[in-house]
Structure 1
Amino acid sequence: MSEEHVWVVGDCLAPFANNDHVETLGGVLSRLERGPHGKEVTVLHPGLGVDRTCWRDVGDAITRRGLSSLVLAHGEPPQPVARHRVLKKAQDNVLLGDARASGEELCASLVVPNETEMLRDHTAEQQHVPGMLLIEAAIQLVTWGVGETVPPTARGETRYAVMHRCGFSFGRFVFPLPVLLRGRLSRSGEADDERVPLTAHLWAEQAGETTGVYDFELNAFDPRAVFAIEAGQAGKTLARAGAPSGEEGSTE
């Protein structure tokens, strides 16, 4: 019996489903409810925009309709990291899954939640993943890597990543298929109690090709130290700006 292999992507990435062997999650679930069409085996693979809960829904629909001999949900989407590990208030904005570190080496899968505001607010409506989302994913991997690999402060607090230089290079479009983010987080100077200087060199891989490179310079700060610096700079900026006069922007 022949097999058809299909990538399943989130409904938020519907333009990509105009390609052969790609369907949206909503389209797959509708097709499963209608029942089998022919006797060819369909093997479904999770792409971006499909989380583990949705993938279980696909498996449940296959079982409920008695289609286990004709439809197979193969593999599983990555498990997202906890939102506090990448300094996010909403789990839907977490873009990393199955993250791991070994020494200075970092690796994670790209996760694109179907409801992330970074797609809802993107107007291009093309079939590729927006560059700004990929930059945010790289920043999240650096943030996660600092918490995972840099020793905490003497008080046991996780250090706070503060970036002061970055560079991005995009070589290929990234599509709603599996993506790996890899890289290295390295010491770049003498550390003290307040800060640990670091550099990060990251790249994204899809279908065996490097799609982009991301470089950062940063400090892993004692949180109390960086918040004190921030407060001091805020006070100085307000002093330089002076009290609002109400005259700026006047048309008289």
Structure 2
Amino acid sequence: MQLIVGNRLTDFAEATGAITAQAAIERLAQKSVEGGFVIGQGVRDEDARVIRVLGQATGVDVHVFEEDGLRAGRSVCHKHDPVNELISMPRKVEENVFEADMLMDDRNEIMSDHLTGLHLQGMLLIEATRQMFIAVGETQYSHLGVPKGGYVVFNRLDTRFEQFAFPIPTVIRQSVTNIEQPRSDRTSFSAHIELFQEQGRVASTYVEYTIFEAASLKPKEEKLACKAVESVMRRAEDAELTIVEEGLTQRKAG
């Protein structure tokens, strides 16, 4: 039995005896497979579908550890391109505790410009964590009036990397520790998010964040943005005036 990983993860495949998705498809098409396959991280959705269909047609077992293997979608992950969606839809496992599967495509924006060694980049884990806590807030607490597609503001994000994460099946677990609604247009959360692989917990994050109604926060954000730009322009004008005054002083001195 072999682990299937994304086509770009050739170093990992060569070092561990795994196989890339394209190579797995070719072997299945040629009916030259002994044993079965386990789908890991980095495999593109279209490749995974082909592998499952060919596996069924040739009698080769294709194991998928994820609950459903379906990405949560644009409105949940807050990503326009599906290849940047990193999680499945969160599912409730107990009161205020939720889990999702990490579903990484090797064309992900974070993977596109940085591949080092055999492990998954820390920024990829942070992005999966970010998508998880937004998704949990918007999909699991709608009964509190938490809006979908709202403005999400992070107040605190503390991440610890405990060991290397590899392109293998990964579960994300969020435990919500506190919920507050200081005003009717916003809900604040505190939570711990953990990422687990076969070797144990690979990363953990403590986060505090608030989800606002877009209509309530947007005007305030625009006002602050305009104020910031005005401050920059004043500083630039002051610097220009200083340069002109220094030039005049030098000419007089000369």
TM-score range for the pair, normalised by the shorter chain length:
0.7 to 0.9
- TM-score, length-scaled by structure 2: 0.82
**Structure 2: distance between partners of 1:229 and 1:182:** 33
What are the residue-to-residue correspondences of 1:5-44 with 2, within 5 Å? 5-36=1-32, 41-44=34-37
Question: Is 2:196 the partner of 1:205?
Answer: yes
Conserved? CA contact 1:12–1:119, under 8 Å: no
Relative to structure 1, the CA distance from residue 100 to residue 153 in structure 2 (aligned partners, 3 Å threshold; closer, same or farther) is closer
What are the residue-to-residue correspondences of 1:63-102 with 2, within 5 Å? 67-68=58-59, 71-75=60-64, 78-101=69-92, 102=94
Q: RMSD of the alignment, in Å? A: 2.6
Comparing 192-201 with 135-144, which one deviates more in the overlay? 192-201
Bigger radius of gyration among the two: 2
Q: In the TM superposition, what whole-angstrom CA distance separates every residue of 1:94-141 from its partner, at most 9, and x where no partner exists?
A: 0002421354212111111132121112142x2111100100000000
- List 4+ stretches of structure 1 deviating above 4 A: 243-248
- Percent sequence identity is 22
**Structure 2: distance between partners of 1:241 and 1:75:** 53
Conserved? CA contact 2:194–2:205, under 8 Å: yes
Conserved? CA contact 1:55–1:76, under 8 Å: no
Aligned match for 2:159, one of 121, 144, 168: 168
Which amino acid letter does the alignment assign opposite residue 208 of structure 2?
Answer: E
Structure that is richer in helix per residue: 2
C-alpha displacement at 1:240, in angstroms?
A: 1.7
Which amino acid letter does the alignment assign opposite residue 205 of structure 2?
Answer: Y
- What residue number does 1:54 align with? 47
Aligned match for 1:121, one of 113, 116, 130: 113
**Structure 2: distance between partners of 1:43 and 1:237:** 58
Which amino acid letter does the alignment assign opposite residue 114 of structure 1?
Answer: D
What are the residue-to-residue correspondences of 1:116-195 with 2, within 5 Å? 116-124=108-116, 126-151=117-142, 157-158=147-148, 159-195=150-186
- Which secondary structure does the structure 2 equivalent of 1:162 belong to? strand
- TM-score, length-scaled by structure 1: 0.83
**Structure 2: distance between partners of 1:161 and 1:103:** 23
- What residue number does 2:250 align with? none
**Structure 1: distance between partners of 2:172 and 2:157:** 16
**Structure 1: distance between partners of 2:144 and 2:95:** 19
Relative to structure 1, the CA distance from residue 73 to residue 241 in structure 2 (aligned partners, 3 Å threshold; closer, same or farther) is same
Aligned match for 2:207, one of 216, 221, 237: 216
- Which secondary structure does the structure 2 equivalent of 1:118 belong to? coil
**Structure 2: distance between partners of 1:242 and 1:52:** 48
Conserved? CA contact 2:138–2:147, under 8 Å: no
Which amino acid letter does the alignment assign opposite residue 179 of structure 1?
Answer: T
Structure 1 regions of 5+ residues with no counterpart?
A: none
